[in-house]
Amino acid sequence: MLELSNISKSFGSARVLDGVNLLIPPGSRTAIVGPSGSGKTTLLRLIAGFERPDSGQIMMRGRALFAGDQFVPAHQRKIGFVPQEGALFPHLRVGENIAWGLSGSRHEKRARVEALMAMVSLDSKLAQRWPHEISGGQQQRVALARALAQQPSLMLLDEPFSALDTGLRVATRKATADLLTQAGVASILVTHDQKEALSFASQIAVIRHGRFAQIGSPFEVYSQPADEETALFLGDALILSADVAQGKARCQLGDIPVDNASISGVRRIMLRPEQISVEPCDSAAGLPQAHIVDIDFVGYLSTLTLAFAHTDEHITVQTVTRPGWLPGMKVNIQINGCARVFAL
Ligand SMILES: Nc1ncnc2c1ncn2[C@@H]1O[C@H](COP(=O)(O)OP(=O)(O)OP(=O)(O)O)[C@@H](O)[C@H]1O
Ligand SMILES: [Mg+2]
């Protein structure tokens, strides 16, 4: 559907994108995640055609959108773009914003606008309002409806749900994902919300300093992150130093199997919280023992700080809260599955 090869872009002397490659399969959903300033919006603007790469190539369905001297302007790309700040036309009413670029009779346009507003859960009464008379979350949904109206073959979404509260955000994200899938429209979503990325996407691309640190399925990038930074970006993780040999990591938590038997030496390993169970101490169980130093209670989850007898290094583990836990209590730790061992 879309292929970016070796795309670079600088603003002045600052290199914002540095040799980016990305493949977007037809009808797929890609989430781009990465810290602020890492080049996410810039990448979307290059794909949309609002900005020109310094080098590289952008192909869409076998046609060059950018290659050498070739540059297809934004309005000829059939790419929908919902920008980070919504960017509605302030001199047009909500309904006119959505209808912008639609063809057909007035009656047809009005029916189409109503259908689009329903799709993004907007009350059709808002069609007569001016953009400044609706909320930020409503503006984002108008921008989404306006982009959908163009029936694009690729949709670019730059944090389109950021102004919505949690409930509406989940509902709108799900509705948008279903809508795009039904229409067979491939999409690229930029988000800061790691849960949103994992649930929306079929492919996740982790960007850092203008390069992709990792691209893979949500499960892959979550359970086999390329490095520590990526691991922490996608969720809570316990990262430890360990002595790795013959498929096992020796660390404070005992001997844990690792996911890559060919790696050995002193390495960093990672476990996700769901792999770690903390149980009341049973000295007959033969499991590693620790005692609770501190408990940070945040509802159904608690973060435990644990200390071990033979080292003074503490670890923190997020786990489901149990009544009766107290500082000083002895516990056993059980590990499920393999630890991820990072390459150097
Ligand atoms: N037109 C421009 N001129 C100069 N510098 C720019 C321009 N556009 C972006 N930049 C710079 O490029 C870098 C990447 O910006 P970009 O907007 O792509 O980041 P981002 O990943 O979208 O960040 P955020 O998560 O905060 O939206 C930033 O350092 C930014 O200041
Ligand atoms: Mg941005």
Examine the pLDDT at 67 and tell me if it is beyond 80: yes
CB 292 within 8 A of CB 305: yes
Query: Based on the domain organization, do 253 and 332 belong to the same domain?
Result: yes
- Would the CB of 40 count as within 6 Å of ligand 1? yes
The string over 187-207, giving b where at least 16 C-beta atoms fall within 10 Å of a residue's C-beta and e elsewhere, is bbbbbebbebbbebbebbbbb
| Same domain membership, residue 241 and residue 227 | no
**Are residue 223 and residue 258 in the same domain, yes or no?**
no
Q: Is 39 in the pocket of ligand 1 (CB under 6 A)?
A: yes
Task: Write out the two tokens for 38.
Answer: 């890492």
How far does residue 225's CA lie from ligand 2's centre (Å)? 23
Tell me the residue length of the chain: 344
> What does pLDDT average to over the chain?
91
User: Are 257 and 211 part of one and the same domain?
Assistant: no
| pLDDT number for residue 7 | 97
SS3 (DSSP) at 294: strand
CA of 159 to the centre of ligand 2 (A): 8
Rounded to the nearest angstrom, the distance between the alpha carbon of 232 and the centre of ligand 2 is 20
pLDDT value at 135 more than 80: yes
Report whether residue 131 contacts ligand 1, using a CB cutoff of 6 Å: no
pLDDT computed for residue 284 by the predictor:
74
**pLDDT tens-digit readout, 102-126:** 889 999 999 999 999 988 889 999 9
Helices (H), the chain: 40-48, 94-99, 106-119, 136-149, 166-182, 194-200, 218-223, 228-233
Calculate mean pLDDT across residues 116-142. Answer: 90
Taking CA atoms only, the protein residue closest to ligand 1 atom 16 is: 39
Contacts of 65 (CB under 8 A, 6+ apart): 47, 49, 58, 59, 71, 72, 77
Residue 128 token pair:
């007569």
Asked whether residue 197 falls in the same domain as residue 299, the answer is no
Give the model's confidence band at 74: pLDDT under 50 very low, under 70 low, under 90 confident, else very high: very high
Strands (E), 112-219: 154-158, 186-190, 203-208, 211-216
With a CB cutoff of 8 Å and minimum separation 6, the contacts of 2 are 22, 23, 24, 47, 58, 59, 60, 154, 186
pLDDT of the residue at 16? 96
Residues 174 and 242 in one domain: no
pLDDT value of residue 230: 93
Residue of the CA atom closest to atom 4 of ligand 1: 11
Q: What's the whole-number mean pLDDT along residues 283-305?
A: 88
Query: Ligand 2 center to residue 250 CA distance, Å?
Result: 42
Q: Is the pLDDT of residue 87 over 90?
A: no
Closest residue by Cα to residue 322 from 291, 299, 289: 299
Q: Which ligand neighbours the alpha carbon of 38 most closely?
A: 1
Residues 134 and 204 in one domain: yes
Residue 207: band (very low, low, confident or very high) from pLDDT cuts 50, 70, 90: very high
* Domain-terminating residue out of 183, 215, 231: 231
Ligand 1 pocket check for 83: Cβ under 6 Å: no
Given a contact cutoff of 8 angstroms between Cβ atoms, the answer to whether 241 and 251 are in contact is yes
Q: Could you say which of 188, 205, 231 is where a domain stops?
A: 231
Average pLDDT rounded to a whole number, residues 185-207: 93
pLDDT at res. 309: 79
pLDDT for 272 equals 94
165 with 16, same domain: the answer is: yes
Give the number of other CB atoms < 10 A from CB of residue 55.
Answer: 14
CATH classification of the domain holding 11: 3.40.50.300
Q: Which atom in ligand 1 lies closest to the alpha carbon of residue 51? A: 1
Please determine, for residue 252, whether its predicted confidence score (pLDDT) is greater than 80.
Answer: yes
Structure tokens at 301: 């989850």
Which of 18, 41, 51, 188 is the pocket-test mutation for ligand 1 (most atoms within 8 Å of CB)? 41
The pLDDT of residue 295 is 95
Query: What is the per-residue pLDDT for 121?
Result: 84
Q: How far is the CA of 99 from the centre of ligand 1 (A)?
A: 30
The whole domain housing 175 covers 2-231
Instruction: Say whether pLDDT at 150 is over 90.
Output: no
Ligand 1 centroid–CA 6 distance in Å is 19
Question: What is the pLDDT, as a whole number, of residue 62?
Answer: 92
pLDDT over 80 (residue 344): no
Quick check: 163 pLDDT over 80? no
- Of all ligands present, the nearest one to the C-alpha of 37 is 1
Q: What's the pLDDT score for residue 120?
A: 84
Contacts of 233 (CB under 8 A, 6+ apart): 33, 34, 35, 194, 206, 225
Q: Encoding tokens for residue 235?
A: 């969720």
Going by pLDDT thresholds of 50, 70 and 90, the confidence category of residue 160 is confident
Given a cut of 90, is residue 77 above it in pLDDT?
Answer: yes
Among 43-57, 79-93, 140-154, 227-241, name the most confident range. Answer: 43-57
Residue 269 and residue 151 share a domain: no
- Give 338's DSSP letter: P
**Domain end among 204, 231, 258:** 231
Distance CA 279, CA 62 (A): 57
Is there a single domain that holds both residue 222 and residue 304?
A: no
Is 29 close to ligand 1, i.e. is its CB under 6 Å away?
Answer: no
Atom of ligand 1 nearest to the CA of 44: 18
Residue/partner pairs of 61-66 with CB below 8 Å, 24 or more apart:
61/1, 61/153
In ligand 1, which atom is closest to the CA atom of 12? 4
Read off the tokens for 327.
């500082």
At 14, is the pLDDT very low, low, confident or very high (cuts 50, 70, 90)? very high
Mean pLDDT, residues 68-92 taken together: 90
For residue 328, CA distances in Å to 129, 135, 254, 299 come to 61, 50, 21, 21
173 and 308 fall within a common domain: no
Measured from the Cα of 39, ligand 1's closest atom is 18
Ligand 1, atom 8: nearest CA belongs to which residue?
A: 42
To test the ligand 1 pocket, which listed residue (7, 8, 9, 16) has its Cβ within 8 A of the most ligand atoms?
16
Verify that 159 and 215 share a domain, yes or no: yes
DSSP state of 339: B
Place of tokens 């689009």: 116
Ligand 1 mean position, distance from CA 24 (Å): 23
Domain count, the chain: 2
User: Which domain CATH number covers 295?
Assistant: 2.40.50.140
Q: Ligand 1 atom closest to Cα of 45?
A: 18
Q: Among 30-39, 79-88, 143-152, 209-218, where is mean pLDDT lowest? A: 79-88
The whole model's pTM is what? Answer: 0.87
Rounded mean pLDDT of 236-240?
91
Q: What is the C-alpha to C-alpha distance for residues 268 and 274, in angstroms, rounded to an integer?
A: 19
